[in-house]
Amino acid sequence: MALLSPSRRLRRTPFSEGVEAQGVSAYTVYNRMLLPTMFESVEADYHHLKQNVQVWDVSCERQVELRGPDAGRLMQMLTPRDLRGMTAGQCYYVPIVDETGGMLNDPVAVKLSEDRWWISIADSDLLLWVKGVANGYRLDVLVDEPDVSPLGIQGPKADDLLERLFGPTVRDIRFFRYGMFDFQGRQLVVARSGYSKQGGFEIYVEGSDIAMPLWDALFAAGEDLNVRAGCPNSIERIESGLLSYGNDMTEHNTPHECGLGKFCNTHTAIGCIGRDALLRVAKEGPVQQIRPIAIDGDALPGCDRAWPLFANGKKVGQVTSAAWSPDHGINVALGMVRMTHWEPGTRLEVETHHVGMRPATVQEKFWN
Amino acid sequence: MALLSPSRRLRRTPFSEGVEAQGVSAYTVYNRMLLPTMFESVEADYHHLKQNVQVWDVSCERQVELRGPDAGRLMQMLTPRDLRGMTAGQCYYVPIVDETGGMLNDPVAVKLSEDRWWISIADSDLLLWVKGVANGYRLDVLVDEPDVSPLGIQGPKADDLLERLFGPTVRDIRFFRYGMFDFQGRQLVVARSGYSKQGGFEIYVEGSDIAMPLWDALFAAGEDLNVRAGCPNSIERIESGLLSYGNDMTEHNTPHECGLGKFCNTHTAIGCIGRDALLRVAKEGPVQQIRPIAIDGDALPGCDRAWPLFANGKKVGQVTSAAWSPDHGINVALGMVRMTHWEPGTRLEVETHHVGMRPATVQEKFWN
């Protein structure tokens, strides 16, 4: 691996100090901000995550805040998911599409009130699209990036840890709901969500000044729970089928190709900018779709570029994320596969970059 | 320095293979793409750049292409620079502003014809802003990212090198003009521009398939010129006063604060979205502005966060880029300074992160 040159342009986070003190060893850059990728090792971090609880600096999930009378209308313009039934207190996973139905982001929308929303974004400057649309349509809404930095609490002991800080009612938060909890006199959104399938929360830390006090309080409270600093884990998230925008899907893909059709209500999402473009694919289905794929042989390196998938020498797709799974003893992968070859059990060949051709099999389900 | 974890999301470039073969040792991420930052060492690269010629993989300067009857109108909506006098064959450095006059990018616009433009962008997803605006205003224009990857040829021997590939007329290209030159039957835009003050060109390589053939041809042709792979050099660019979007300026700054008032014709740039917001600052001037700053003492590490500037204990600005200059024997820096303290010769104190307070002096001019 090459080194990463520091600069102000690769923004530090309100938790960077804590992350460094805990011995971060590798980063990625996400929304022009530092996102840790490794502490002890990706494999050690993975085992720890599945057994304990970790605190994740996911500040890079920047928020796009919509405020004003047209906030709800603008939010619906962005996504083919029908938002009419959504109430304050809920979080929705919302594919965001452009006028061609191409995915621009796959964030979580947090409805704070009728006229105030946060969009907790994946890796693209969604702020610029939303500002451009709001300006062009002359909407009565303020769009900006507030001082909010999400902190993930992930792992089977996440409830135990947060109860010590916020009391027992934190256990009652349902999946993709949130509650308001007090920390040092500040009310914070605490949602049951996060980028793993190990359970846990995301705390939307509003105000950088309380970031390190909260970080320190979590580590002090969780010492006997073996709490550690962690980060989204590439093995666990592939096992769990959690997609990564920029890796597994880009602006060239529709939500349906990404298996996100269940988050689209294209017929009733009136006002969505990409609605017209998506009506046909919503009805007839996509011609390619993301599938779990097992790759034969010993441990592969990560996927730093698309690996073509072949059937009888003909290209039928590509693998975009891959990792060796210690728990399953195979290479787990995600890839986009043409409908002619996406049936579970289909045998394919994948052209890895470093070790040549490997046999691979389309899976029925993810591994978690 | 920490390691950078590879992933498809941090896009490789059509030249990555060549960059790796030449021994790249560090990267940054720029427009979600890999940008080399170091080969031998930042200091060795700097000396080589000033004496020879380097080939830079600046593919990360992605292009936003505007095509269609409204392309020119859209281009003028984006910038307070008056584009009426611009002809095909010219490149303009254009501050891009939002409706508040805040800078969204500082790209080079390339006018290919009346209805076709490229915007060669700095580090922000400008494509999303431009698409949002085009959609909102229902403009008759196609906006996308073409398969174009700029390759920088920088250094005093740049003309010698390119003459060997393109013939003697390449020497006649004037500053911020371009010509069309043939490589393997393909016509390429070759502009006299680039992110150093050592002279040189940028080749807009259209079509990834000819990227490595061109790279190889340049190294074959320039062996006796001591041509090497290089990259934007943090020391040289600070000495030369070349600003870096995301480091020295952000969406919170107007072009005038960044010393880019000379590229604004706010009065006559009719149609510019940020025009109203900029009229006052264009007339009265900004209250803070970027200045060259010399910092006393021995070599400082780079600036990975803003360093506050103080005068008599009061904050009067911040340093955003800094490097030890071997040629000048001082720490050269760029910073935003309040008008009360921006006069050349003003003595200030800068709070560096690693080594505490250092005396500093506002300079009259950059060092190059």
B288: closest CA among B246, B324, B250?
B250
Residue A139's closest chain B neighbor by CA? B136
CA pair distance B3, A59, nearest whole angstrom: 19
Q: What percent of chain A has pLDDT over 70?
A: 100
Which pLDDT tens digit goes with each residue over B62-77? 999 999 999 999 999 9
**Element at B19 (helix H, strand E):** helix B16-21
- pLDDT over 90 at A176, yes or no: yes
What pLDDT is attached to residue B6? Answer: 96
Tell me if A2 and B27 make a contact (CB, 8 A cut-off): yes
Per-residue tokens: B315: 């904050």
B130 in reach of chain A (CB within 8 A): yes
- pLDDT over 90 at B34, yes or no: yes
* B 29-48 residues inside an 8 A Cβ radius of A: 29-30, 32, 37-38
Count A/B contacts: CB-CB distance under 8 Å: 184
What pLDDT is attached to residue B41? Answer: 97
DSSP label of B72:
H
Chain A residues touching B24 at Cβ < 8 A: 2
Which pLDDT tens digit goes with each residue over A136-172? 999 999 999 999 999 999 999 999 999 999 999 999 9
* B 205-264 residues inside an 8 A Cβ radius of A: 234, 244-247
- pLDDT over 90 at B37, yes or no: yes
- pLDDT over 90 at B116, yes or no: yes
A320: closest CA among A301, A307, A337, A338?
A307
What pLDDT is attached to residue A64? Answer: 98
DSSP string, A252-269: TS-TTTTT-GGG--TTT-
What pLDDT is attached to residue B368? Answer: 82
B273 in reach of chain A (CB within 8 A): yes
Which pLDDT tens digit goes with each residue over A80-123? 999 999 999 999 999 999 999 999 999 999 999 999 999 999 99
> What confidence category does residue A274 fall into, taking pLDDT thresholds of 50, 70 and 90?
very high
CA pair distance B36, B13, nearest whole angstrom: 11
The HSE-up count of residue B72 (CA atoms within 13 Å, CB side) is: 14
Per-residue tokens: A231: 């980060």
Whether the complex's predicted ipTM is more than 0.90 is answered with: yes
State mean pLDDT over B20-25.
97
> What confidence category does residue A368 fall into, taking pLDDT thresholds of 50, 70 and 90?
confident
What pLDDT is attached to residue A354? Answer: 85
Tell me if B302 and A6 make a contact (CB, 8 A cut-off): yes
Residue B137's closest chain A neighbor by CA? A136
| Neighbour count for residue B113 (Cβ, 10 Å) | 12
Which pLDDT tens digit goes with each residue over B336-366? 999 999 999 999 999 999 899 999 999 999 9
What pLDDT is attached to residue B165? Answer: 97
β-sheet with A228-230: strand ranges across:
A178-183, A186-191, A200-206, A148-154, A54-57, A228-230
What pLDDT is attached to residue B354? Answer: 85
> What confidence category does residue B124 fall into, taking pLDDT thresholds of 50, 70 and 90?
very high
CA pair distance A235, A233, nearest whole angstrom: 6
State mean pLDDT over B238-264.
98
Tell me if A2 and B5 make a contact (CB, 8 A cut-off): no
Question: β-pairing, B347-352 with B307-311?
Answer: antiparallel
Tell me if A131 and B126 make a contact (CB, 8 A cut-off): no
Which pLDDT tens digit goes with each residue over B147-179? 999 999 999 999 999 999 999 999 999 999 999
Residue A23's closest chain B neighbor by CA? B2
Per-residue tokens: B288: 């803070």
CA pair distance A170, A180, nearest whole angstrom: 9
A126, with CB counted inside 10 A (0-12, 13-18, 19+), is buried
A303 in reach of chain B (CB within 8 A): yes
DSSP string, A133-193: HHHHTT-S-EEE--SEEEEEEESTTHHHHHHHHH-GGGGGPPBTBEEEEEETTEEEEEEB-
A142 in reach of chain B (CB within 8 A): no
> What confidence category does residue B126 fall into, taking pLDDT thresholds of 50, 70 and 90?
very high
Tell me if A129 and B131 make a contact (CB, 8 A cut-off): yes
Per-residue tokens: B170: 């390449």
Tell me if A124 and B123 make a contact (CB, 8 A cut-off): no
* B 319-338 residues inside an 8 A Cβ radius of A: 320-321
